[in-house]
């Protein structure tokens, strides 16, 4: 028995000695096989296969995220550099004497940055009027690296839209979407060139539809979104989850100049109408009757002894305008324009603008206790003074 115990003790001692030597010189021999295979793979000595969810197909990507929308729309969004001709200032005599200069002083040219969207294979682009207003040279850079000088086709300052054209072929063209199908809460992407950092895609939702009377443009019907829009995004694309164009990014509400999550885009329906008119006629035809308006409130209803509660008060009539020629007077309240009810100055403006110049239109109004029907000839809306 004692002999067996001695043999066991000696075997155990030898085994422990061998274990100590192996642990010191070859520790990896003692590690678990699965851990060793991972370490070898990470060191580059073998392949690494991890168990995970199977890769998603491209169709799955489109269904679960917005990468498909960005991939389809982004190539059609370009960057714009608009340069204004340098201004010359004539110095006063004292300044010329003090600085030793004579004649006129030339200021450095001003350069504005923005974005635009390619909307046709013929090279037409949509952007904001304020991006290219007063520019003498407009340079366009595509996402594929190509550059081109852009021709100004036409502008519409009252909607802050402009149409450009570039002489390039094989252009990526964005697909038009339907604003009528948008709803609050729908996912959207804003694509543009903010702060000239390069093409940038931001995501958000439709926060509101039909935003009006913000004091941004004469004609307003904005899509509001919380997708980040910053300086340089102006004229860029607002696209839906399918990558179709639903708006042209144009303005933000901000106290600092950066995005606060309140951005505005011109609906693609408006942009398309303006573009087609500018390409076809060089001008957007809108009706005009030459009146100044105010909201109708309770005090005015009492003062004019009106038997109604809805309408638009005429506060002034321009001389030689269609309204003056037809006999419309200050104090009249317009209730309908060509059969369309109007309840605010904005509705009256839009209803008149929708009339074709040189057409005849019937205006329904209230003058004191009398309801009148007046017919007049609509004129073309004059250009804004800034554009002239």
Q: Which of 62, 115, 130, 259 is catalytic?
A: 130
Catalytic residue among 79, 81, 115, 234: 234
Is 89 one of the annotated active-site residues of the chain? no
Per residue, the 3-state secondary structure of the chain, as one string, reads CHHHHHHHHHHHHHHHHHHHHHHHHCHHHHCCHHHHHHHHHHCCCCCCCCCCCCCCCHHHHHHHCCHHHHHHHHHHEEEEEEEECCCEEECCHHHHHHHCCCCEEECCCEEEEEEEEECCCCCEEEECHHHHCCCCEEEEECCCCCEEECEEEEEECCCCEEEEECCCCCCCCCCECCHHHCCCCCEEEEEECHHHCCCEEEEEEEEEEEECCCCCCCCCCEEEECCCCCCCCCCCEEEECCCCEEEEEEEECCCCCCCCCCEEEEEHHHHHHHHHHHHHHCCCCCEECCEEEEECCHHHHHHCCCCCCCCEEEEEECCCCHHHHHCCCCCCEEEEECCEECCCHHHHHHHHHCCCCCCEEEEEEEECCEEEEEEEECEECCCCCCCC
234 in catalytic set: yes
Residue 52 a catalytic site member:
no
Point out the catalytic residue in the list 62, 160, 226, 332: 160
Active site residues: 130, 160, 234
């Amino acid at each position: 028995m004692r002999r067996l115990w001695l043999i066991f003790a000696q075997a155990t001692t030898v085994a422990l000695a061998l274990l100590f030597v192996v642990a010191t010189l070859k520790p990896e021999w003692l590690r678990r096989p699965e851990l060793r295979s991972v370490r070898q793979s990470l060191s580059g000595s073998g392949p690494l296969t991890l168990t995970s969810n199977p890769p998603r197909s491209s169709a799955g990507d489109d269904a679960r995220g917005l990468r498909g929308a960005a991939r389809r729309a982004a190539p059609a969004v370009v960057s714009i550099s608009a340069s204004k001709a340098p201004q010359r200032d004539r110095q006063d005599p004292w300044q010329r004497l003090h600085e030793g200069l004579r004649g006129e002083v030339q200021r450095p040219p001003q350069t504005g940055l923005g974005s635009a969207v390619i909307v046709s294979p013929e090279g037409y682009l949509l952007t904001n009027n304020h991006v290219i207003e007063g520019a003498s040279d407009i340079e366009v850079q595509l996402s594929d690296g190509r550059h081109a000088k852009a021709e100004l086709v036409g502008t519409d300052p009252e909607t802050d839209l402009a149409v450009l054209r570039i002489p390039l072929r094989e252009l990526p063209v964005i697909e038009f979407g339907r604003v009528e199908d948008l709803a609050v809460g729908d996912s959207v992407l804003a694509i543009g060139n903010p702060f000239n950092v390069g093409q940038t895609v931001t995501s958000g939702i439709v926060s509101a539809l039909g935003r009006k009377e913000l004091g941004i443009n004469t004609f307003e019907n904005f899509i509001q979104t919380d997708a980040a829009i910053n300086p340089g995004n102006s004229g860029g694309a607002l696209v839906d989850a399918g990558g179709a164009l639903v708006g042209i990014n144009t303005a933000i509400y901000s106290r600092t100049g950066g995005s606060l999550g309140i951005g505005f885009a011109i609906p693609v329906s408006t942009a398309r109408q303006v573009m087609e008119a500018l390409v076809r006629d060089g001008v957007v035809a809108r009706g005009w009757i030459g009146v100044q308006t105010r909201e109708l409130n309770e005090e005015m209803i009492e003062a004019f002894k009106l038997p109604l509660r809805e309408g638009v008060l005429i506060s002034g009539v321009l001389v030689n305008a269609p309204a003056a020629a037809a006999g419309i007077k200050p104090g009249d309240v317009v209730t309908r324009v060509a059969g369309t009810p109007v309840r605010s100055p904005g509705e009256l403006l839009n209803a008149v603008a929708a009339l074709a110049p040189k057409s005849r239109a019937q205006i329904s109004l209230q003058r004191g206790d009398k309801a009148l029907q007046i017919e007049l000839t609509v004129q073309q809306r004059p250009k804004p003074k800034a554009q002239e």
